[in-house]
Amino acid sequence: MGDPTQADARRDIVAAEALLDWSVDRDGRGVTLGLLTEAGGEVALSLPAQSVPQATMALLALLTELHRRGASDIMHPVAGWRLEGVQAPDHRLLTLTTTEGFRLTFLLLHDELDAIALASASAVPTAPEVTH
């Protein structure tokens, strides 16, 4: 992934001002995002379902980078969390819920949960990166 300011000249760039709506296809094979352009028109971005996780991670990375660059009003406070077991005995699902009701779920190993708990208990600002 590259810097969007150096986008390939063959790409059509749509300057969007706002996300209007979103929907999931009836058959679950894709999603559509409705966007309002700076010119006042409406366009839609359609993605196949298998691209949604990649798009989600890209958007989360963009939020993090915007926050690092000073956009502090874009972060979402956590209103709740839920930890669930899964069939794999060494994994857990951690779901974070925002005050707006958005949910994001992560699959974590016990070691990763332990590192989070240790960092929280010891007031360490960041936990060491766990690699597998």
Structure pTM?
Answer: 0.63
Identify the domain containing residue 7 by its residue range: 1-55
Asked, for residue 71, whether it belongs to a domain, the answer is no
Model confidence over 97-107: pLDDT tens digits? 999 898 989 99
Whole-number average pLDDT of the chain: 87
Reported as a pLDDT band with limits 50, 70 and 90, residue 32 is very high
Model confidence over 48-97: pLDDT tens digits? 999 999 999 999 899 889 989 999 888 888 999 999 988 888 999 999 99
Asked, for residue 84, whether it belongs to a domain, the answer is yes
Same domain, 45 and 9: yes
Asked, for residue 60, whether it belongs to a domain, the answer is no
Cβ neighbours of residue 33 closer than 8 Å, sequence gap 6 or more: 19, 21, 22, 44, 45, 47
- As a whole number of Å, the end-to-end CA separation of the chain is 23
Asked, for residue 69, whether it belongs to a domain, the answer is no
- Give residue 124's pLDDT: 54
- Give residue 126's pLDDT: 59
Total tally of structural domains belonging to the chain: 2
Return the percent helix, strand and coil in the chain, to nearest 5.
30, 35, 35
Asked, for residue 40, whether it belongs to a domain, the answer is yes
